Amino acid sequence: MQGLDQKLFDQLFERAYKPFRSRNARTLFNIFIVEKEKEHLTTLDIQTHLDEIGIDLSKKEINAWLRSLQEADLITKEQERGKPTTLVYDDKYTFDKWSLSEKGLNVSEDLRELISGTIGGEQYNNNLSVSDRAVTDTAAPSQDDGSLQASYLQSLLLSELRRSSGIMQRNELLKKLIPEDAELDYALSALIEQGLIDVKKRKGGGFLTRVLVTLGLKPGDREVHLTEKGHRLPG
């Protein structure tokens, strides 16, 4: 069998797919895929999406990852600024407008085909939801099985929420489950997409919260809630 053109193969991962080494860039790219029917997305649209899934990135960080996707020709930035397209917005202030490029759209379809096809020699069903898996399974998967590891973390997260009457702070989950910070965000995002949980900003905040903010530290100000659908999962 003839091999791949090595030069083109290298260029593929040094340019088009290079941003996908970062989970943040992958998350932003996926937001564009989810909202591809919109004429454009503004930085406020993207910030709102990230807030909804409990990912805290500054505007500077968001713009940096957007530029990395732009440099790979996966998204384009329009010359004129505009208003958000995914939320009600009455202010006069406008934002940078971004959209999937034709190349980005093609790459998204290629990735969708890859993900829904054969991964690691086994057929992977990406439509399988957490509710279809054994939520009470206590046997941890091996570290080299990424898809099973992610599913296992989601199962543990749901179990912890049920033990806590359906509400926990994000930092409590981080301490109990001890995942990488980005892994927890990925699990929360997956469960939100399935309608099993909501992530909300914690209301109020006492003396300790104010002290942390004064010191420049980020308090655990997000609460994770089981939705009605999440509560209906078998225990």
Residue that terminates a domain, selected from 119, 150, 167: 119
93 in the same domain as 53: yes
69 in the same domain as 108: yes
Beta strands, E only, the chain: 41-42, 75-77, 97-100, 118-119, 122-123, 167-169, 197-201, 222-226
pLDDT of residue 74: 93
Whether residue 1 is contained in a domain is answered as no
140 in the same domain as 78: no
Q: How far apart are CA 186 and CA 229, in angstroms?
A: 20
Using DSSP's 3-state secondary structure scheme, residue 169 falls into: strand
- Which residue carries 């829904």 as its tokens? 116
**Helices and strands, counts by H and E, the chain:** 10, 8
pLDDT of residue 60: 86
Task: Tell me the residue range of the domain where 157 lies.
Answer: 128-231
104 in the same domain as 62: yes
Q: How far apart are CA 151 and CA 74, in angstroms?
A: 29
pTM, full prediction: 0.51
Whether residue 114 is contained in a domain is answered as yes
CATH number at residue 83: 1.10.10.10
DSSP string, 113-134: HHHHSEETTEE--TT--GGGS-
As a whole number, mean pLDDT of residues 70-91 equals 91
pLDDT of residue 173: 81
